[in-house]
Structure 1
């Protein structure tokens, strides 16, 4: 772009930029309040933060703080904040009193003979400053870590979880009562004909499994026919117990005192 173009001339003489456009003249009716341009360049999180800033800015040894110099700089900052009519918390004023007290104790004359070495008045302040610096450094490291909502967002993938309902377990008393009902019904089918009948538990187990594979489930009472004699009923019941023991079938009940159901497992 040529240097004598209108845009470059306006940019060179501009006193301000408004929405990306140079402004060359200040409006005659523009009123700027006296305190409108007061800006606090450095904000501190507390009196320890301010002290640590003053020490590190001047490369001072935190273990040997020049209390006169630091106290004067700290009080100057407090006075400047007061002149700008900014609210100071009680912590800043309390720290100012502590600095003045330490400064006064250091200026007091020492006795000529010291039997025991007295504690340094700055020791507690140094300990608090070092502890605060460690916490501040750790907080800065934590702030650099990726944070959800600031550096990345969570990806939500809705998944439909199909939960297979587990039927309630059958109590022993319910199974016993159902078995007694089957026995009572079988007693009415007794007769006086005597003949030899070959009964096998394995055969009954196979028949029960074949039936359940077709029907998937049936009632406990349906596995016993009304015409079955007592011996067949007993063998059939033993076959059911063996299948349950092997884990081939499952005995369940929808609600208490309801009919017992046999299912393929």
Structure 2
């Protein structure tokens, strides 16, 4: 926003808001609730742990000590403790100024290095058996070698392909057509359906006395023709009550014979549901 000046000699402009400097094109150092802030408040308090910068990240004292040895190509079996301890303490002094709790763990290792160096300066004492005393650095070297082996093994494991990081598991969803699966028909359900057919047959009885020779094979063919070309047929549709109980009995026997020979299937969706009959095979 620019402001017209009453005279070209005036070097100053109107301030945009209270507390802002007179020069409006100064770069803002921050934004407070959306408004630019051109200088930090005098009473601003920044905690010491608000910002931490680590040039090298170490997982512990052994990691730092191994880093100093490998960086300068020192022989790990003959560690120059004076140089390593001096560099180690300089790093500990840096972290002590920011995080005292973290420095405590590193100070313990520094004390161990100083102790080993002091033992090396003293004249060695022979053991009771007359053997040469063990090098004071031996235990530290053993711990460093074991740590390095574990670190290298962890790096090799990290290089292996990881699910979710390097590759994803392939997942394929297949939508299968929902086909109704009919449970097997129990004997009781089949008997109840047969009794219902007999009840209906008694309501349409005829008193005409005739002698008729009925063939089970013939009615088996009739049942097969009735089911031909149809997916499902209700159980009751296979019987004609108007022809009398004799025909119903023969038709029922023919249906049982077809089921025994696995030419038809008798199915039911659930208990007390209608019973259906269908061909056990589907012609091409």
TM-score scaled to structure 1, two decimals? 0.61
Instruction: Report Cα offsets for 1:144-197 as digits up to 9, x if no partner.
Output: x4876x778899987644222323443332122212333455577597957461
C-alpha distance in 1 between matches for 2:261 and 2:80 = 86
Identify the residue that residue 52 of structure 1 maps to in structure 2: 66
Which of 150, 153, 159 matches 1:134? Answer: 153
Partners of 1:168 and 1:253 within 8 A in 2: yes
Which of 239, 257, 267 matches 1:252? Answer: 267
- What SS does the aligned partner of 2:241 have? coil
Which of 139, 152, 160 matches 1:121? Answer: 139
Question: For structure 2, which runs of at least 5 residues remain unmatched after alignment?
Answer: 1-25, 30-51
Instruction: Report Cα offsets for 1:28-69 as digits up to 9, x if no partner.
Output: 9999xxxxxx96443335444433322322234556655554
C-alpha distance in 2 between matches for 1:187 and 1:137 = 86
Question: For structure 1, which runs of at least 5 residues remain unmatched after alignment?
Answer: 1-27, 32-37
C-alpha distance in 2 between matches for 1:200 and 1:29 = 105
TM-score scaled to structure 2, two decimals? 0.58
The answer to whether the aligner puts 1:211 opposite 2:226 as a matched pair is yes
Question: How well do the aligned residues superpose, as a CA RMSD in angstroms?
Answer: 4.4
What is the Cα deviation at residue 234 of structure 1? 3.8
Residues 61, 165 of structure 1: CA spacing in aligned structure 2 closer, same or farther, 3 A cutoff? farther
What is the Cα deviation at residue 262 of structure 1? 1.9
The answer to whether the aligner puts 1:43 opposite 2:57 as a matched pair is yes
Aligned 1:43-122 pairs, distance under 5 A: 43-62=57-76, 65-83=79-97, 85=98, 87=99, 90=102, 93-101=104-112, 103-105=114-116, 107-108=118-119, 110-115=124-129, 120-122=138-140
Which structure is larger by alpha-carbon Rg, 1 or 2?
A: 2
Greater RCO (Cα-Cα under 8 Å, separation 6 or more):
1
- When the two structures are aligned, how many residues end up with a matched partner? 224
Partners of 1:105 and 1:121 within 8 A in 2: no
What is the Cα deviation at residue 129 of structure 1? 3.2
C-alpha distance in 2 between matches for 1:99 and 1:191 = 118
C-alpha distance in 2 between matches for 1:79 and 1:232 = 108
What is the Cα deviation at residue 246 of structure 1? 5.0
What is the Cα deviation at residue 220 of structure 1? 0.9
Residues 242, 196 of structure 1: CA spacing in aligned structure 2 closer, same or farther, 3 A cutoff? closer
Instruction: Report Cα offsets for 1:79-130 as digits up to 9, x if no partner.
Output: 23345x3x4663x532441353265257436541255987942234432332
Residues 226, 45 of structure 1: CA spacing in aligned structure 2 closer, same or farther, 3 A cutoff? same
Aligned 1:131-210 pairs, distance under 5 A: 131-139=150-158, 141-142=159-160, 145=161, 160-183=175-198, 189=205, 193=209, 195=211, 197-201=213-217, 203-210=218-225
Partners of 1:106 and 1:121 within 8 A in 2: no
